[in-house]
Amino acid sequence: MPAISPNKPYRIGRSRTGLGLFATKKIKKGSKIVRYFGPMLDSKNKKHDAIDNKYLFEITNRWTIDGSVRKNTARYINHACKPNAESDVSKKKLRVDIRAIKTIHPGEEINYDYGTDYFKEFLKPIGCKCVACEKKRKKKRAEERANKLRLKAKAEKKKLKKISKAKRKLEKAKSKKIAMTTPHAHARGSGKPTKTKSARTKSLRPRQSKSPALASQA
C-alpha cells in the first residue's frame, strides 16, 4: 500500500468491496483529486498486448495505462453507478485525472464509473456492490418479502373462508337431519273436548210420541 502525504485530501481505507479511497478533507466540485498513472502500453507491441489485468485504463485504440503499479493511488478508487467523481481523459497528453463532479465531504468514499466494457466483463458477473446497486437490491428484496407476505395472507384468508363455509354446510346438514328425526307434536286445540267417532254417530232409536197430558191439551 503506497504512503500518502498528509497534505493529500484522501486516504486508503476499508470499503464494502475491499480497499477504497476516502476523502479526509472537503473536496469541492470540479477539483482534481488524483492522477491515474502507470506504464504506457502500446497495442502494436506484442509484449504489451499480452499484458492483462483489471487496472488497465484504455486512453486510445493504441495507448493504455497499466495502473497496476503500487504507487498509483488512483487504482484504489472503486466503481459506482452513481459516482461523485469522473475520469478526465486527455488523449493528446495521454493523461488521466480523477476529478470531483460534486462536493465530497470528509469520510465519504471517492468513486467513479468504470465504463460499460469494464462493468460487463468484471462487475456484472459477480454483481455490482456500489451503494446505488445495493439500495436497488435491498428495495427489490423488501418488495419480494412484502409480496410473499401478501400472498401468504391471501392464502390464509382463502383457507379460513373455505373452513368457515364447510362448517356452515355441516351445521345446516345436522339441523336438517335433526328436523327429520324429531316427531311432530299435535297442535293444541281450543280447550273443548274432541268428539269421538261414537259421539259423532247419530242414534237410531225411534222418536218418542208426545205425552197424554200434552195430547189432551192439544
pTM: 0.65
30 lies in the same domain as 138? no
69 lies in the same domain as 157? no
Q: Give the pLDDT means over successive 10-residue stretches in the chain (218 positions).
A: 87 92 97 96 90 91 94 95 96 96 97 90 86 84 85 87 85 80 59 56 56 51
Of 90, 94, 111, give the one whose Cα is nearest residue 102: 111
42 lies in the same domain as 60? yes
Number of structural domains the chain divides into? 2
Residue 152: per-residue pLDDT: 87
Residue 212: per-residue pLDDT: 54
Residue 218: per-residue pLDDT: 47
**Which range marks the domain in which residue 160 is found?**
130-177
42 lies in the same domain as 92? yes
118 lies in the same domain as 136? no
Q: What CATH number is attached to the domain comprising 109? A: 2.170.270.10
Of 71, 57, 66, give the one whose Cα is nearest residue 1: 71
Which residue, of 65, 95, 127, is where some domain finishes?
127
20 lies in the same domain as 119? yes
Which residue, of 127, 150, 169, is where some domain finishes?
127
